[in-house]
Structure formats: C-alpha cells, structure tokens
Amino acid sequence: AMRFRAPLSVIAGIFAATVANHALAAFAGTLVAQWLTPQILSWILAVSFILMGLWALIPDEPPSEEETKPVSRFGPFAATTIAFFLVEMGDKTQLATVALGARYEALTIVALGTTLGMMAANVPVVLFGEAAAKRVPVAAMRMAAAALFIVLGLVALVSALGQGVSG
C-alpha cells in the first residue's frame, strides 16, 4: 500500500480494515467467554501475550508483489483496506483481540482499544516509516514489541495467579 504515496488514504484503509477485523475478533472472544470461566480466561490471556511476545521475535515476511497485485487496481484506500484486512487474519493482534474479548466480554471497548493501539503503531510507520527504518533497526523495533507483549503477559500472569485456577 505504501507504493501509492497517499498516506491519508492508506491510514484510512488501515483504520477501516482494523475496525472490521478487530470487531470480528472481539465478537469471537465474547463467544469463547461463554464456555470458559474468568479464571481460565485470565490464564489464556497471560499465556497468549507471552507467546505473542515470543512470536514477535520472528520477522514477518512482507506480502509479495504477486499477493498485492490484484488489489492494486482498486486505488489506495480500497487496496489498503483489502490487503490489511487479509494480512491481519490470524495475526498476533487479532489473536490478542480474541483473548481480550474473551477475558473482558466488552466487545465495543476491546475492539476500540485494540484498533486505537493498531493505529498508534501503524500511523507513524505510514508517515515516517522510511525515515525511521534508516535510523532504528527493525530488529530493535521487533525486540521492543516482543518486550511489551511479554511484560503485558507477565502482568496478566500475576493477575491470574492472584485469582487462582479454581477461583
């Protein structure tokens, strides 16, 4: 989507895709919550964040030219919306949104919070990505993201331990 050189259209596309993706993920989480106790959900959330932190250490492969070629005919907004929605399916943030939706059973708040988090992470990349990549190594950014997920997981783990498994 960056090849369009239309940052506002790209940002709007990321926002639209993220709202749709995270609303579905939060909804899936609220469905999961019907079958699991809050204590089990706390453990799942903690372990999920720690695993996502470890997963963040694995470099992502950018979509190939072949994968993005079919959507490029739609223009920057539609191409970004379609591509970002598809690329985010099953990604760390979507799985985190499912876990948060399950744990807190607050679809709107979870979808809004995770969408805002995605926008906070992606808007600077769209606006300053090339300049930042020249100054901050991608490995350092990946390590920072991994550390954040692991810290959140440890905080959730402490909370889960405080609740106990049986309640």
Percentage of the chain with pLDDT > 90? Answer: 33
User: Which of 16, 50, 27, 75 lies closest to 160, judged by CA?
Assistant: 50
Model confidence at 46: pLDDT above 80: yes
Question: CB within 8 A of 49, min separation 6: which ones?
Answer: 96, 99, 149, 150, 152, 153, 156
What is the reported pTM? 0.70
pLDDT at 69: 58
Tokens 């993005």 sit at which residue? 68
What are the boundaries of each domain within the chain? 2-45+60-128
pLDDT over 50 (residue 97): yes
